[in-house]
A and B are shown apart, each in its own frame.
Chain A
């Protein structure tokens, strides 16, 4: 069975540009969460979507937005990129039940220059 897939694997952008990252969840999972992992730190929660609705938002500026599609895949958008947005962006999928075991994809490495 395919796990969580993310694209692209790596991305280099310039300050002020916009970026779109994509995620496909495990088959049967209807929830997708996004996390940012800066080098040397643990992942930080950005968003959680379930059944195409935003269910949670972390402490990130409005430059960050996301959406979930009818097939449960998701996009994370970041506008007006800053150097500090350079990080590994991780997508996790889950069943959104009480245990909510979240399974992570390999991530997208974003470098902002």
Chain B
């Protein structure tokens, strides 16, 4: 299967940390990505992690990968109102031709940051 699953909603207070979770099923995934989508806009690439890594930190963002459980999380430190958006995790898989790099996305997590 090629399902990527995420919880639909998350609400946090401004200044708190947010943790968005994702599970994936394809053990052959090489890279896993986090994208942010604001209303009416395209997707913004936030960060990614290679499948042989456990953790990656990039300023306020921390990505944790548990390959055994196929679980990925995105932690946003000191969450701000501007972080309110839909967050998508995606896994990169080679297509049937062996050459395409198609992304399979979850349904997205709506993050609401309360003042």
Contact = CB atoms under 8 A, between A and B. Distances in A.
B92 interface: yes
A56 B33 CA distance: 19
Interface size class of B (residues with CB under 8 A): 20 to 34
Contact of A56 (B4, B45, B90, B97): B97
A49 to B, nearest CB: 9
A99 B48 contact: yes
Contacts of B4: 42
Contact of B102 (A41, A42, A50, A56): A56
B110 to A, nearest CB: 10
A101 B48 CA distance: 8
Contacts of A107: 41-42
B107 A42 contact: yes
A56 B95 contact: yes
Nearest to B107: A42
B102 A45 contact: yes
Interface stretch (A12-20, A62-70, A71-79, A90-98): A90-98
A43 B105 contact: yes
A48 B102 contact: yes
Contacts of A99: 31, 48, 50
B43 A56 contact: no
A42 B106 contact: yes
Interface in A1-58: 4, 31, 33, 35, 40-45, 48, 50, 55-58
* Ranked 9 nearest A-B pairs via Cβ: A56-B100, A42-B105, A56-B95, A100-B101, A45-B102, A104-B42, A104-B43, A55-B100, A106-B42
